[in-house]
Each structure stands twice: as structure tokens, then as C-alpha cells.
Amino acid sequence: MRIFGVVSFVLASLYLAGCSSTAGVDALQVPSSETTSSVVRPSAPVARAVKTADTETTVETASMTGAARFRPPAPLLDDQNARPFGLAEEETVAFPAPDLPDTVEPPVQEAALVSPPKRLSRAAPAMLASPVTRYAFRDAKPINFGRSSPRHLAVHGVDVSRWQGNINWQKLRAQGANFAYIKATDGGDHLDPMFMRNWRNADAAGLKRGAYHFFYWCRTAGEQADWFIRNVPKVDGALPPVIDVEWNGDSSCRRRPSREKVLEKMQVFMDKLERHYGQRPIIYTSPDFYRDNLRGAFPDYPFWLRAVAAHPSKVYPGRKWLFWQYSGSGLSHGVSGRVDLNVFHGDERQWRNWLGGGQMVADAD
């Protein structure tokens, strides 16, 4: 019994010593400095150029992630309730603060903060196999184009922005929208709040999609190109980016540079986009701006021409074109109100060839 008692005492002592030792180690532990991959660290501030008069300075802006990207710009229109039509007329409305309805998805992240997929030189076969939906649009202000009616062309589409609100893309596709150009950016700091929602949903409905940028003549071309690249993903099968160049009297930017300066700034912008996306940008323009600046310019670039009262061959004589915006008053299931209507200059075979990467600049007639 004595031996058993001694053994029991020794075992109890060892057990108590072990517990004391463990408690001491726990008391010395400190929280880990590691973070999990679910923790998002704020990105470094992004420098952007701000040009005043002819002097350009650089200021530091907040991170472009999260709500910071929705810094409301200064108002640009006295009447922001006016509902403009066409590409350029809508672009000068100041975007609202981030108090968006629940149906609007979060803003798109900067391209620099995500890993973009590899760009292919030709569209995938599945993308080319989608059937062309025939024209079924109506028009609130129909124009009789006679024998040159856009109805005779096979591939129709739309261009949209925040003004179209929540779009039912499946219904729009069924009406005859085979492609959509979607407002993305203007100037150097404006982002259409519906861009990413439209970008995703148009693709899900089977439309070929592209993005356009409204060019400001009071900002440098380089910073505008950077802003577009940050906000428009580089993805397989997307249509070439579009630079929208027009005079816009409603904008806070009233500057009208010389023709030489206009062409120089456009070239800088387009070169930067072509290097990034691997596609030659398309030039969208209106009759007055074309008359002042673009006659005879950029013969190797595809043009998208606005001509809502006559055929492009009459409004832009001698100019080859790829897309024709023939109406700013289109009506369609899936869209509340009016929508811009466009058509591709070619038949279905030429459309598929162009989507596949073929270089095509259609004739002027």
C-alpha cells in the first residue's frame, strides 16, 4: 500500500506540472498577423491627371474600389430630367451618388485589379454560330429611306446607357437586337452606373456586346484612355471599343479644338486602346462634327455614322462605314421608352466573317 501510495503521489504531481506548463504557454501566445484571402486590402491610390487650361497637373484620388469610385461629379446640365437621345447627347448628365436601387449591381472593378482573360484574335466557333435575329423593331418617328432602307440589311442592333433603365435583354434580343454597344465611360472620371449590369446581361442573352466612350475635349487623351481601360473588361468575343466624338453644347466642356488638335487627340486615345484590347477602335460621329474635322481623315478606321434623316451616302459622301445609327426613336419590347437603332453594313456571312476577326471596311454606298 505504501508503494502504491508513493506511485500515486508521483503520478499526480506529474499531471499537475503538465497542466501548469500548458497554461503558461497559452498565456504567452499573441494573435497571428496573417490574414485570410477573404480580407480585401484597400488598393493604393490612383493618380489621375487633371487639366486646367493648357497646364496639366497630377493629383491623387481615392482608391477606385468600392463606393469611392462613385464620387459624384459636378453637375453638367441645368435640366437633368431631360431625356436625350443618341450617343453624345446623353453623356453630359452628372451621375448620381451611390444610392442606387437594389436591382443595380455593384460597380465594375478596375481592370487593373482583376486578372483579365487572354484575348483571342478570332471569336470562338460557338460565338459565331448564334443565329441572326431578324428585324422586328418599331419607330416612334419613322423615316422613309426608300430603296436604301436599313430594313434591307440583315444584322440590326442597339446602343444603350443608363437612360434605358432596367432592360429585359432576352426580349430585346427576340425583337432583332443581334448586338449592343453599351455606354461605359466619358471624360476621365465618369462611369455609367448601369454599364456592368448591361455588359453582363447582354452577353447572357446572346447579343454581341461592345463598349463606347464619349470623348471630352477638356481632358487629355491619355487619361481618358486609361479611364476606359480601367472600367471595360478585356474579354473574348467582345466587339471593338468605340470612341464617340461630337460637339456637345450642353456639356460643361465648351472647348472646340482645331481640326489638327482633334485628330491628334483621337489618335493618342485610339492607339492606347488598340494596344490594350488588340482591336482597332471604331469611330462614332455625327454630321456636324464630321464636317468640321473628319472628312478625309482616318481612312483605315471603321466608322459608325449617325444619319437619322437620310442614308449615310448622302450625309457623309465618300465615307466607308461599318455601322449606321438610323434612328434615335426606336421602340422595342424589353425597353421602356426609346432606344437607338443601328445596322451592320453587310449580310449575315459578312457579319460572321467580321466577328471572326476579318478586317472589313465596307463601301460607302
The residue type of 199 is W
User: Which string of b and e fits 324-349 if b means at least 16 CB within 10 Å?
Assistant: bbbbbbbbbebbeebbbbbbbbbeee
3-state secondary structure 287-309: HHHHHHHHCCCCCCCCEEEECCC
Q: At what angle do helices 259-277 and 221-231 cross, to 10 degrees?
A: 30
CB 54 within 8 A of CB 61: no
CB 226 within 8 A of CB 195: no
Report the chain's terminal Cα–Cα distance, integer Å.
116
Question: Around Cβ 120, how many Cβ atoms within 10 Å?
Answer: 13
Non-local CB neighbours of 282 within 8 Å, separated by 6+ positions: 210, 240, 241, 242, 243, 301, 302, 303, 304, 322, 323
Q: Which helix (H) or strand (E) holds 272?
A: helix 259-277
Active site residue 246: yes
What's the length of the chain?
Answer: 365
Non-local CB neighbours of 198 within 8 Å, separated by 6+ positions: 160, 167, 169, 180, 182
Catalytic residue among 246, 260, 264, 274: 246
The residue type of 277 is Y
**DSSP helix/strand/coil, 209:** strand
CA–CA separation, 284 and 142 (whole Å):
22
CB 191 within 8 A of CB 95: yes
Active site members: 246
